[in-house]
Homo-oligomer: A and B are copies of this chain.
């Protein structure tokens, strides 16, 4: 019986290092310590590891350029992601070229085309709902692709996305502990995988912490204010920024009358008279993890599996006050 050939993943596991470290160690990359390189090489030999021929063919034409397709650069979440990817790429002696798709599926298709024609080593992309076709073309051209932030079910592409539950759970627990009884949630568009996942996480967290169903509210910021909620949780960066504008315009005393928790950290959330608590995806980690997964995929077409990163709660004055209930 012929065992299936070892993969880079097997070598990495045997050497006790990450796939990306194993890949770079075998490539003789000097950023990896000599001792580690030696250990990885020994493991590869013992396992009779042979790099995937397809990956090797690609490698011979390496450009050391990574293409990045993001929906927007004025959304601070994606701008920060672009920055993190570019920094991690520089640390790995790679260059990035970034294309913004303006949240438009046609534009995404065009951007991926342009990046593919630029002979990049691989592509990191935030997909749009219904953009499967654009990615199929890349697969046919054997261009390694990793998705980040949003899933594209059925595309079969390795994806790095965050799990909203830990952060959402901590947020609801924090509000309940501080006596905020009517909790409003600002949900994102129902056709986005991230929005659906976060709403489900919010509802699960409310269930876990015994929030009465009559004390859970959904709607836009104005509707929630009119219903007299005591706390608001936003479901993404754009919703957080829009809610902040509504609250300021209506002179709501954030951190005194209303507890407000945003989603994703950014400058605008931090630089407030009452800095805003956020459910944090750790966008730097998300971007860096996605780039390392792509590096592994470029090194060995069989290697990577999708990765889920955690979310957490950053508590700031906007929500950190107790509400005395009579």
Known: A241-B271, A267-B241. A73 touches B79 (CB 8 A): yes
Instruction: Determine how close the nearest CB of chain B comes to the CB of A301; give it in whole angstroms.
Output: 25
Known: A241-B267, A248-B273, A268-B268. A100 touches B76 (CB 8 A): no
Identify which of B76, B99, B273 contacts A97 (C-beta below 8 A).
B99
Confirm or deny: A195 has a beta carbon within 8 angstroms of a beta carbon on chain B. no
**Copies per assembly:** 2
**What total of chain A residues lie within 8 Å of the partner, measured CB to CB?**
37
Contact A82 B73 (CB under 8 A): yes
Identify which of B96, B102, B251, B275 contacts A90 (C-beta below 8 A).
B102
Known: A79-B79, A95-B99, A114-B97. A86 touches B65 (CB 8 A): no
In angstroms, Cα B253 to Cα A273, docked, is 9
Residues of the B chain whose Cβ atoms lie less than 8 Å from the Cβ of A111: 95
Residues of the B chain whose Cβ atoms lie less than 8 Å from the Cβ of A268: 267-268, 271
Known: A76-B76, A248-B272, A272-B248. A96 touches B95 (CB 8 A): no
Confirm or deny: A285 has a beta carbon within 8 angstroms of a beta carbon on chain B. no
Residues of the B chain whose Cβ atoms lie less than 8 Å from the Cβ of A223: none
Confirm or deny: A309 has a beta carbon within 8 angstroms of a beta carbon on chain B. no
In angstroms, Cα B97 to Cα A99, docked, is 5
